[in-house]
Amino acid sequence: MIPFQLHRRIPLIRRPFWQRDLARQEAQELRDCAAENEALITRLKAQIAELEGKSRNTVPQDLDASELDRIPDAESFYEFIVRYAITCIRENDFADNFDEITSAIAGRDLSRTFRADWLASNYVWLGRSYGQLFEAFRTLEDLQSRLLFASLLIYRLAGHLGFKIPVAFRDRRTDLASYVNIEEAGRTNSALAVEGMFGRLSHYDFVFDGKRYVVDCLGLRWYLFLRQYFYQRDGIAVAPSPGDYVVDGGTWVGDAACVFSNAVGPEGKVFAFDPLDVHIEVLRHNARQFACPNVTIMPFGLADHNFASGACQAAGYNPGFSVRGKSAPLRTLDNCVESGEIDRVDFIKLDIEGSEFDAIRGAAGVIEKFRPRLAISLYHLPDDLFRIILHLKERHPFYRMFLDHYTIYINESVLYCLPS
């Protein structure tokens, strides 16, 4: 117990009236939010119990894209997704739906773990957002994109033990092995003393499809084998072309920039954005060894506002680095064009750890003026799965939108936008 004499010496700090009013308002908002969540969870429990009863005698069939297309409204869409996920949880127990990359990201082996807390949070998110998700689902251009969209929702509810995302590369193991042999034959130890969450970088020097790739990174299979950021399906292509001016938002150490550099050739340019000092250091080293000297380093994060700051400091590379909540050098793409640093934009790739929506807003003028092709990551924040699609639909309605996915888990979903 504090002695009375000492207690009297402690000054009583009173907030100004406006701060006290603000605190009361914030407290009330928290109470309202808690009450809303409690009501939502109660409703979800009742709905899930009802849907589980309906699903008890069914076996999960392969998803039928045409069946999905016949869903008439958001409520039916919600019921379909939840009912299918519950059936998958009950009937499936996949032992081959996990990989070493997922374990490395998690920091431990989760291959046989039923992640009930994560799945429960996704049920709450779906119950709050299914109206917007259904609108985004209906906005996508083709059946395959809509099938993938629904599959990603089901995976969030059923987990890796209950559901497999339908990705084509599962059946291309022989092709992958052939590619890996080419890449490994050209791999040596990197001269750079840079380490990070996946260990030391490697130095690659090899020829693939007639083009030479020289770069220090963790490998190029995402782009050269899986063709991430090079969408091509049913005669539709959304990818960098020879002569294009490409914005590489979230260039990391320049692995994608290396592939973009070869794709656009000597007549094109690649503007590589990243705010982290370690990444810029490696990128400068890489740009000097690329086959085409066409990469311009932009040591900033892309955002919806400009902010002057020194480069962010880090002890090692971090492909998951995010500027959100940090003091980081930021630029809008509109400002980069207005300043004359970038002449035009033909293709924009954004993989910036949850800042994609802000970067799109900061590129509104560029998008309207040049109508570039877009490749935008949709997986960093759950709401990005619908809000980026709906924002583009409202503000830039000339785009046709397609979805592709490059892992067996929820990471690496990319929205491709083609101006019509």
Local confidence band at 95 (pLDDT 50, 70, 90 cut-offs): confident
Query: For the chain, how many residues are written?
Result: 420
Local confidence band at 3 (pLDDT 50, 70, 90 cut-offs): very low
Local confidence band at 205 (pLDDT 50, 70, 90 cut-offs): very high
Do 211 and 81 belong together in one domain? no
Lowest mean pLDDT among 21-35, 288-302, 381-395: 21-35
Residue ending a domain, choose from 162, 186, 212: 162
Task: Indicate if the pLDDT at residue 235 is higher than 60.
Answer: yes
DSSP 348-413: EEE--TT-HHHHHHTTHHHHHHH--EEEEE--SSTTHHHHHHHHHHHH-TTEEEEEEE-SSSSS-E
Distance in angstroms (rounded) separating the CA atoms of residues 64 and 259: 35
Residue 60 lies in a domain: yes
**Section 10-22 average pLDDT:** 51
Residue ending a domain, choose from 162, 193, 224: 162
Task: Indicate if the pLDDT at residue 355 is higher than 80.
Answer: yes
Residue 387 lies in a domain: no
**Section 57-80 average pLDDT:** 82
pLDDT value for 29: 65
Do 184 and 267 belong together in one domain? yes
Secondary structure class of 83 (helix, strand, coil): helix
**Section 109-127 average pLDDT:** 87
Do 214 and 286 belong together in one domain? yes
Local confidence band at 326 (pLDDT 50, 70, 90 cut-offs): confident
Residue 302 lies in a domain: yes
Do 362 and 269 belong together in one domain? yes
195 Cβ neighbours under 8 A, 6+ residues apart: 201, 316, 317
Local confidence band at 321 (pLDDT 50, 70, 90 cut-offs): confident
CATH of the domain at 315: 3.40.50.150
pLDDT value for 39: 67
Q: 243: which 2 tokens?
A: 């002569």
Do 158 and 183 belong together in one domain? no
Residue 68 lies in a domain: yes
Lowest mean pLDDT among 3-12, 179-188, 285-294, 403-412: 3-12
Residue 388 lies in a domain: no
Lowest mean pLDDT among 57-66, 136-145, 148-157, 313-322: 57-66
Do 247 and 129 belong together in one domain? no
Please tell me the pTM assigned to this model: 0.86
Distance in angstroms (rounded) separating the CA atoms of residues 205 and 216: 9
Residue identified by tokens 């794709």 is 263
Distance in angstroms (rounded) separating the CA atoms of residues 19 and 23: 6
Instruction: Give the residue, 369 or 105, on which the prediction is more confident.
Output: 369
Residue 361 lies in a domain: yes
pLDDT value for 48: 60
Do 226 and 295 belong together in one domain? yes
**Section 338-359 average pLDDT:** 97
DSSP 264-304: H-TT-EEEEE--BHHHHHHHHHHHHHSSS--EEEE-SEE-S
Local confidence band at 22 (pLDDT 50, 70, 90 cut-offs): low
Do 342 and 200 belong together in one domain? yes
Do 282 and 369 belong together in one domain? yes
**Section 385-404 average pLDDT:** 98
What Cα–Cα distance (Å) separates residue 24 from each residue in 14, 18, 36, 37, 179?
14, 10, 18, 20, 61
Task: Indicate if the pLDDT at residue 341 is higher than 90.
Answer: yes
Q: 20: which 2 tokens?
A: 């006290």
Instruction: Give the residue, 337 or 97, on which the prediction is more confident.
Output: 337
pLDDT value for 103: 63
Residue 31 lies in a domain: no
pLDDT value for 8: 41
Contact at 8 Å (CB) between 390 and 132?
Answer: yes
Residue 281 lies in a domain: yes
Do 146 and 199 belong together in one domain? no
Do 142 and 248 belong together in one domain? no
Range of the domain at 326: 178-377
Which of 158, 392, 359, 185 minimizes the C-alpha distance to 275? Answer: 359
Q: How many domains does the chain have?
A: 2
Instruction: Give the residue, 44 or 232, on which the prediction is more confident.
Output: 232
For residue 204, which phi and psi values (nearest 5 degrees)?
A: -115, 135
The alpha carbons of the chain give a radius of gyration, in whole angstroms, of 24
Other residues' Cβ atoms within 10 Å of the Cβ of residue 74:
16
Do 311 and 285 belong together in one domain? yes
Residue identified by tokens 């209906």 is 138
**Section 218-236 average pLDDT:** 97
Task: Indicate if the pLDDT at residue 11 is higher than 50.
Answer: no
**Section 215-240 average pLDDT:** 97
Distance in angstroms (rounded) separating the CA atoms of residues 316 and 104: 16
Task: Indicate if the pLDDT at residue 1 is higher than 50.
Answer: no
